[in-house]
Structure 1
Amino acid sequence: MRTYISFLTLFLSVFSFSFAQTTSDIPEVQALLDKMTIDEKIGQLNLVTPGGGVATGSVVSSNVEAKIKAGNVGGLFGIAGPEEIKEAQDLAVNQTRLKIPLLFGSDIIHGYKTTFPIPLGMSASWDMELIKHSAEVAALEATADGINWNFSPMVDIARDPRWGRIAEGAGEDPFLGSAIAKAMVTGYQGTDLTDPKTMIATVKHFALYGAAEAGRDYNTTDMSRINMFNEYLPPYKAAIDAGVGSVMSSFNDVDGIPASGNKWLLTDLLRDQWGFKGLVVSDYTSVNEMSAHGLGDLQAVSALALNAGLDMDMVGEGFLTTLKKSLDEGKVTEDDITQAALRVLEAKYKLGLFEDPYKYIDKKRAKTDILTQESRGFARKLAAHSFVLLKNDQKILPLKKNAKIALVGPLADNKNNMLGTWAPTGDPQLSIPVLEGFKNVAPDAQITYAKGSNITNDSVFAEKLNVFGMRAEIDSRSSQELIDEAVANAKNADVVVAVIGEATEMTGEASSRSNITIPEPQLKLIEALLETGKPVAVVLMSGRPLAIEDLNALPVDILQVWHPGIEAGNAIADVVFGNYNPSGKLTATWPRNVGQVPIYYAQKNTGRPEGAEWSKFKSNYLDVANSPLFAFGHGLSYTTFEYSDLKVNKASITMGESIDISVTVKNTGEYDGEEVVQLYVHDVVRSIAPPMRELKGFKKVMLKKGESKSIKITLSSKNLKFYNSTLDFLAEAGIFEAFMGGSSNVSEKVEFELKK
């Protein structure tokens, strides 16, 4: 009897499986699936790079042409240009049985040929229209070069500036990060993916990659579900809600299981809870790398990834070489393979590639839509809007356009470091260095230039920075000779502008730093310049928040310009000479020293909070204050802004209602300027410990000198929701405090009540 029941159970399971066929809602895709062999389906799951471009890993695919002809490739990345892409597409549509076109992908992180500021810099503009348009321009240029799939935006929340890839995201805040994720996805994809000037966007890295332990790239991640859902997952969800077509898995593990093989992450959360129906692609060889995590050999981790919900294997080719065997051994099902192939085919269909495989191959567009004067002009504008005036105590800036200026520093006349990290499609030699920008904007100024110092004097460190070309050149002259030349120029000038900071490859992928200070030779240069008695303004370039307490203590003014992109020099000159009044605000907290890291504004209080003065048995340091050097949202202007009359339009709201919070902002200085008005909320009492404040709204406003405006931000009760200890998303009745001002450390507040 027991044998009969076992046989019946097996029979019913097989019988049920035979009817559990994966089907597509798109008839053309379903018709194609019905014709495909298992080998052809597996082939669609293989994403390869033939090399020749900038690889994002140590592996480059082999025998790519033969694999395309054999139907073993679903997409390519790392190539661009109408001729090259047509040649590859010809192989797919003319020399394979089913003539399935290829996808062509690329990492277009902050512009294509027209390179914009690094994403962390763009986020500092707090301007969603500018950010969205940057994605539109990037899509316009990339599609003109044949690319239809972009591995961007990166939306990882990052609260540890040691992590090099903080440069690629929007900083530490989930509310702002979500707004930027939506803007980027909408910019890349537009409203119609069949438009040949739009492309599929890929939100990455799913998930929690920005929380790598010790700030070390590719490292493990470990956090509570409450922290995940409240702080780290919202920007990914915002991208999904905006209709992003693709998701890329991350290198790190989540709850001990690497993301590329994590079924809870890729299926239970992403597909079942969030309803994502698009394509999930691995990061570069991240499937293979699960073996190093301790999850088994290539066959085992490839089966794990497919069963978890991964659709496409980037470069590793574990799917191509092992899935057939795993299918024969019952470790994967044909239905799972078909489901993954379906998602790849549907992505191609949505792009219109089945109707016209060559729609992105247009030699005319390659000549007319790339690196136009209009695009470069926009890059210049966006860069200027991204700069943050960190310190202006000396009131050195803006400079007069007929001044005698000593322009010094290793980044003052340096094309190689203007584009920033992760600009593989840009050409550094087309960038505008600072010296050239100064001459363009202030032709009547008397400008002398001296290098002043090396970026670093450490030859071993410099070698690590020069993997993609010369970024940190060590001069044949001694450090003293370099300083002496700069000091001589300074003595004959009215003012000194020193351009210092990080080389581009001091941040980015695999560019974590345990010491995030400015290299010593550059600091010695600043100290020597100050000894001349001349005013010194520092133009600071970096891809991350830096620990600059020593620099900040000196009598210098500091303009943070990130790595500004192709129009760097012109944009910097626009701000230094006052053509544009800086309006950027920090989107990641700057620590006093690395010992404060991780540091971010939305921290929870402790049972023993730090007081106004140090005392024992409180949550504080012996050697430094808890407060950051520069808070989230900080950013000065050549003018000044005064806030007053903070108020709410009602004392209480109920669930489903909204409340208006307003404040009067007055420009009390001598220049017209823009201000980012920020709204923060504190839930006074709730079922889980709340952050001390959370960003819940912002507006960028232009005010002429002497002008006042009442700025209103509407706050919905939906904005008060959070995930509680059982991961229910809700708002709880109670008292809320609202803060409105120019940074996260604003002190003026008003209360309102949320009632049931």
Structure 2
Amino acid sequence: MYCSSTPVVRRCLALGMSVVLALTPIGALRADMGPVRYLDPGRPVASRVDDLLARMSLDDKLGQMTQPERRHIEPDEVTRFRIGSVLSGGGSAPSPNNVRNWADMYDGFQRAALAAPLRVPILYGVDAVHGHNNVVGATIFPHNIGLGAARDPELVRRIGAATAEEMTGTGVDWNFAPCVCVARDDRWGRTYESFGEVPELPSSMTTIIDGLQGSALGRGPTSVLATAKHYVGDGGTAGGRDQGDVRLSEEDLRAVHLPPFREAVRRAVGSVMVSYSSWNGLKMHQNRYLITDVLKGELGFSGFVVSDYNGIDQIDGAPGFTRKEVAAAINAGIDMVMVPAEWRRFIERLRAAVEDGTVPMARIDDANRRILTKKFELGLFERPMADRRYLGTIGGAAHRALARRAVAASQVVLKNDDVLPLDEGDRIFVAGRGADDIGLQSGGWTVTWQGAPGATTPGTTILQGIREAAGGSATVTYARDGTGIDRSYDVAVAVVGEQPYAEYEGDRTDDLRLDDTDRETIGRLRAAGVPVVVVLVSGRPLNVTSELPGWDGFMASWLPGTEGAGVADVLFGDTDPSGRLPVTWPRSAAQEPINAGDGQRPLFPLGAGLGYD
């Protein structure tokens, strides 16, 4: 706990009392209402919520339902408007971006929340989708598509727990993850956020929720709130268009896209984020049937529902949001609204909708009850500040070792003409844009929203991993474009693939072919007459059908993150390849969408992968 050490606080701590209570002028909490029960950690959560709700004004309640972005709100505004949550969008970080500045920033916002009359702490949300990836120096794990290839729910649970520890050190207590979408079209720019194309894969990987939240929310010092997203069907949009339309019958929507959310709810996930996409023309952000009737009613979800970033703006198709859109979203069952910049306008329009009866007060109270319940369960009223004991775990050796094992487990060998595993005594020539580039191998949602090539954060590149695995006496030569290779080398390794990207900007409507630069690099290696192994670093299958016959080895590495040595572990046989395709690999982009059981003949089927036996 990072807090004041005044005598009254020390005495309250010794008595097991809430730090918030110790710092609170009781008069400000409306003493006429009797004892301040909600600040008593010995009382049941439901009783504490009842007591707090009874003390809250409409301003307090509207503030709890509002989530601005850190760049668009000052700490004093958090106090004044009773804001319930703040987020960092992709790449939104303190400057300089380091672990202590993150903790300081979090504590500053939290102190501001605690300065309001009722002393209700905020939740701080980030997209920690493959580790605490907004923070420079954090451990970056493989993206979900790689973890789907690993098919190891316990490994994924441990990754969730490691991510929670690193978040805890910076104070951040709410993770907008996991994405449990079922990606059905590889052209979609968020394919790598999916564990796989069949519902069984994302459903089995919801163990990451257990890792993030712990055995129960708030049980243990590193428990953080998890979010199942994006509800529902975002991986099944027509043409693979991000934020597009899911044109399915209800029967098919339930069979393919709903099961992972059912499993997430079974694991008591704390929040669910609504998708930008539509279902048969109706925006999910206004779909009362799916949010209230199915998710909260049928599935029994007791947490709270959050919108996506400016998601309510899209309900009527026009820029910005109207009072009608605000009312439609809240009445549909959205409890907290991610409204990065125009949060004051949101509060005004929601207040007007409540005052004229368009949004019932019962709906406002239900939303607040859901939000406050999770804050109490997390223990935020007792432990509101960053737990700096965990700063040392961020990018620590134990987490990087875990990530390296995850990388190795995610590698999928798809072709091997007696060239793998590599021999430590080989003369090895390494080429390709992805060989010595942390940013490229980590992909999007790494330090910045779209990600970027280059040395964006500390880690081990694939080239560094190869050199380490080959040993000091081996010959490992590197040329990014493949120039300088000759017949004296025993093998060439080309590390090629996609440049970093994230949602929307990552959509592809082309033929999913390799970049011309990559194809030219591989061509130079082949021209030397030595065996060529292609390592593909990508967020989805690419069209390699015409090139594959000229390759002696082919390994899908997905987006491995900061621990490139895990790729080398498989290349050299220190770890036997165990990864299996989590998606169907098409022969051409013309087959998209292609999925198991649809009657098409793929290049490689779902579940394909070779070992070294």
TM range (shorter): 0.7 to 0.9
Report the alpha carbon displacement of residue 293 of structure 1 after superposing the two structures with TM: 6.4
SS at match of 1:69: helix
Question: What is the rounded CA distance, in whole Å, between the counterparts of 2:47 and 2:77 in structure 1?
Answer: 27
Question: What is the rounded CA distance, in whole Å, between the counterparts of 2:555 and 2:383 in structure 1?
Answer: 49
SS at match of 1:29: helix
Aligned to 1:41: 61
Q: Of 619, 622, 633, which residue of structure 1 is paired with 2:607?
A: 633
Aligned to 1:586: 581
Structure whose CA Rg is larger: 1
Aligned to 1:610: none
Aligned to 1:199: 224
Question: What is the rounded CA distance, in whole Å, between the counterparts of 2:346 and 2:228 in structure 1?
Answer: 22
% identical aligned pairs: 35
Report the alpha carbon displacement of residue 144 of structure 1 after superposing the two structures with TM: 1.6
Question: What is the rounded CA distance, in whole Å, between the counterparts of 1:141 and 1:487 in structure 2?
Answer: 41
Matched, 1:510 2:512: no
Aligned to 1:220: 245
Report the alpha carbon displacement of residue 66 of structure 1 after superposing the two structures with TM: 3.6
Distance 1:638 1:289, change over 3 A: same
SS at match of 2:178: coil
Matched, 1:31 2:51: yes
SS at match of 1:237: helix
Aligned to 1:381: 405
Report the alpha carbon displacement of residue 243 of structure 1 after superposing the two structures with TM: 0.8
Q: Which has the higher contact order (CA 8 A, sep 6+)?
A: 2
Q: Of 299, 302, 312, which residue of structure 1 is paired with 2:326?
A: 302
Distance 1:409 1:25, change over 3 A: closer
Question: What is the rounded CA distance, in whole Å, between the counterparts of 2:193 and 2:388 in structure 1?
Answer: 31
Matched, 1:351 2:346: no
Matched, 1:68 2:78: yes
Question: What is the rounded CA distance, in whole Å, between the counterparts of 1:490 and 1:136 in structure 2?
Answer: 47
Aligned to 1:673: none
Quick check: 2:305–2:333 contact (8 Å CA) kept in 1? yes
What does 1:550-629 correspond to in 2, within 5 Å? Answer: 550-568=546-564, 570-603=565-598, 626-629=600-603
Matched, 1:87 2:115: no
SS at match of 2:536: strand
Quick check: 2:576–2:611 contact (8 Å CA) kept in 1? yes
SS at match of 2:493: strand
Deviates more, 1:428-437 or 1:140-149: 428-437
**CA offsets per residue over residues 711-730 of structure 1, 9 Å max, x none?**
xxxxxxxxxxxxxxxxxxxx
Distance 1:577 1:324, change over 3 A: same
Aligned to 1:483: none
Report the alpha carbon displacement of residue 218 of structure 1 after superposing the two structures with TM: 1.2
Matched, 1:540 2:514: no
Q: Where in structure 1 are there 5+ consecutive unaligned residues?
A: 1-23, 52-60, 453-485, 606-625, 640-756
Report the alpha carbon displacement of residue 330 of structure 1 after superposing the two structures with TM: 2.1
Distance 1:50 1:581, change over 3 A: same
Matched, 1:119 2:144: yes
Aligned to 1:190: 214
The AA in structure 2 aligned to 1:565 is G
Matched, 1:437 2:469: no
Quick check: 1:285–1:315 contact (8 Å CA) kept in 2? yes
Report the alpha carbon displacement of residue 245 of structure 1 after superposing the two structures with TM: 0.7
Quick check: 1:200–1:245 contact (8 Å CA) kept in 2? yes
What does 1:165-564 correspond to in 2, within 5 Å? Answer: 165-181=190-206, 183-194=207-218, 195-292=220-317, 298-316=322-340, 317=343, 319-358=346-385, 361-366=386-391, 368-392=392-416, 394-424=417-447, 428-443=456-471, 444-452=473-481, 486-505=482-501, 508-515=503-510, 516-564=512-560
**CA offsets per residue over residues 309-349 of structure 1, 9 Å max, x none?**
10000025364120111122221111111111111111111
The AA in structure 2 aligned to 1:35 is R
Greater strand proportion: 1
Quick check: 1:418–1:564 contact (8 Å CA) kept in 2? yes
**CA offsets per residue over residues 600-659 of structure 1, 9 Å max, x none?**
0133x6xxxxxxxxxxxxxxxxxxxx30011000001111xxxxxxxxxxxxxxxxxxxx
Quick check: 1:589–1:600 contact (8 Å CA) kept in 2? yes
The AA in structure 1 aligned to 2:433 is P
SS at match of 2:70: coil
Report the alpha carbon displacement of residue 179 of structure 1 after superposing the two structures with TM: 0.8
Greater helix proportion: 2
Q: Where in structure 2 are there 5+ consecutive unaligned residues?
A: 1-43, 94-100, 133-137
Distance 1:356 1:534, change over 3 A: closer
The AA in structure 2 aligned to 1:451 is R
The AA in structure 2 aligned to 1:440 is E
**CA offsets per residue over residues 115-138 of structure 1, 9 Å max, x none?**
111110011001111111111111
Question: What is the rounded CA distance, in whole Å, between the counterparts of 2:517 and 2:321 in structure 1?
Answer: 48
Question: What is the rounded CA distance, in whole Å, between the counterparts of 1:271 and 1:572 in structure 2?
Answer: 42
Aligned to 1:77: 87
Quick check: 1:107–1:424 contact (8 Å CA) kept in 2? no
Deviates more, 1:436-445 or 1:28-37: 436-445
Quick check: 1:312–1:340 contact (8 Å CA) kept in 2? yes
Question: What is the rounded CA distance, in whole Å, between the counterparts of 1:416 and 1:174 in structure 2?
Answer: 30
The AA in structure 1 aligned to 2:532 is V
**CA offsets per residue over residues 556-584 of structure 1, 9 Å max, x none?**
2101111111111x112111111111110
Report the alpha carbon displacement of residue 532 of structure 1 after superposing the two structures with TM: 1.7
Report the alpha carbon displacement of residue 508 of structure 1 after superposing the two structures with TM: 4.3
Report the alpha carbon displacement of residue 545 of structure 1 after superposing the two structures with TM: 1.4
SS at match of 2:547: helix
**CA offsets per residue over residues 128-172 of structure 1, 9 Å max, x none?**
111111111111111121011110000111110000101011110
Question: What is the rounded CA distance, in whole Å, between the counterparts of 2:328 and 2:527 in structure 1?
Answer: 63
**CA offsets per residue over residues 417-442 of structure 1, 9 Å max, x none?**
12222233898331211221122121
Aligned to 2:158: 133
Question: What is the rounded CA distance, in whole Å, between the counterparts of 1:385 and 1:273 in structure 2?
Answer: 36
Q: Number of matched residues? A: 543
Distance 1:487 1:353, change over 3 A: closer
Question: What is the rounded CA distance, in whole Å, between the counterparts of 1:65 and 1:562 in structure 2?
Answer: 40
Report the alpha carbon displacement of residue 540 of structure 1 after superposing the two structures with TM: 1.0
Question: What is the rounded CA distance, in whole Å, between the counterparts of 1:219 and 1:638 in structure 2?
Answer: 42
SS at match of 1:553: helix
Question: What is the rounded CA distance, in whole Å, between the counterparts of 2:155 and 2:389 in structure 1?
Answer: 27
Distance 1:371 1:28, change over 3 A: same
Question: What is the rounded CA distance, in whole Å, between the counterparts of 1:558 and 1:490 in structure 2?
Answer: 21
Quick check: 1:419–1:428 contact (8 Å CA) kept in 2? no
Distance 1:263 1:292, change over 3 A: same
Question: What is the rounded CA distance, in whole Å, between the counterparts of 1:144 and 1:488 in structure 2?
Answer: 47
Question: What is the rounded CA distance, in whole Å, between the counterparts of 2:106 and 2:528 in structure 1?
Answer: 57
Quick check: 2:79–2:114 contact (8 Å CA) kept in 1? no
Question: What is the rounded CA distance, in whole Å, between the counterparts of 1:86 and 1:121 in structure 2?
Answer: 34
CA RMSD of aligned residues (A): 1.8
Distance 1:88 1:585, change over 3 A: same
SS at match of 1:292: coil
Runs of 4+ in 1 over 6 A off after TM superposition: none
Report the alpha carbon displacement of residue 487 of structure 1 after superposing the two structures with TM: 4.3
Distance 1:64 1:289, change over 3 A: farther
